[in-house]
Amino acid sequence: MKHYSDYDLERALFNLPLEEAPANLRASILAQTIYRQTLPVKPWEVWLMGGCVAMIAWFLLMILRGGFGPVVSGLDVMGAAILEVVSQPATLLWIALGGASAMWLSQLTPVIAPARQGPVRR
């Protein structure tokens, strides 16, 4: 095993025959990174639309597998279970407390004025 000095390694690296970079490399990198056009839709809209498409596909699959009757009875059972859970007094209390605290916090949030712009005098 040979041990080379830093000078020898740097000299060997600089003597390597390298290809010249394309003329517009920097401009194309900037165009694809910081100067890239923004997307016409927001990420939450993509998630919402994807969720809607998934629910529609699931609903259609359920209809095709067993007809419309089992789907309606299944949705009726799920709706009754959700209504039973939500209509309990403790659950209603926690929902009311959560909504009230959200409203209270949204009304009490102070608006902080932006800092004064300009030179700082000392």
Identify the pLDDT of residue 117: 60
In tens, the pLDDT along 59-109 reads 888 788 877 777 788 889 999 999 998 889 999 999 999 999 999 988 886
> What is the DSSP code (8-state) at residue 23?
T
| pTM of full prediction above 0.85 | no
Identify the pLDDT of residue 109: 66
Whole-number CA gyration radius for the chain: 32
> Which residue ranges make up each domain of the chain?
22-66, 68-107
How much is the average pLDDT of 5-33?
87
36: nearest Cα among 46, 44, 28 = 28
Give the integer Cα–Cα distance in Å for 120 and 9: 50
Q: 45 in the Ramachandran plot: left (φ > 0), alpha (ψ -120 to 50) or beta? A: alpha
Amino acid in the structure at residue 32: Q
How much is the average pLDDT of 30-34?
87
Identify the pLDDT of residue 49: 96
Phi, psi values for residue 3, rounded to 5°: -110, 115
Phi, psi values for residue 84, rounded to 5°: -65, -40
Count the neighbouring beta carbons within 10 Å of the beta carbon of residue 68: 9
Give the residue with greater pLDDT, 100 vs 119. 100
Identify the three-state secondary structure at position 16. Answer: coil
> What is the DSSP code (8-state) at residue 62?
H
Give the residue with greater pLDDT, 71 vs 24. 24
% of the chain residues with pLDDT over 70: 88
Identify the pLDDT of residue 66: 77
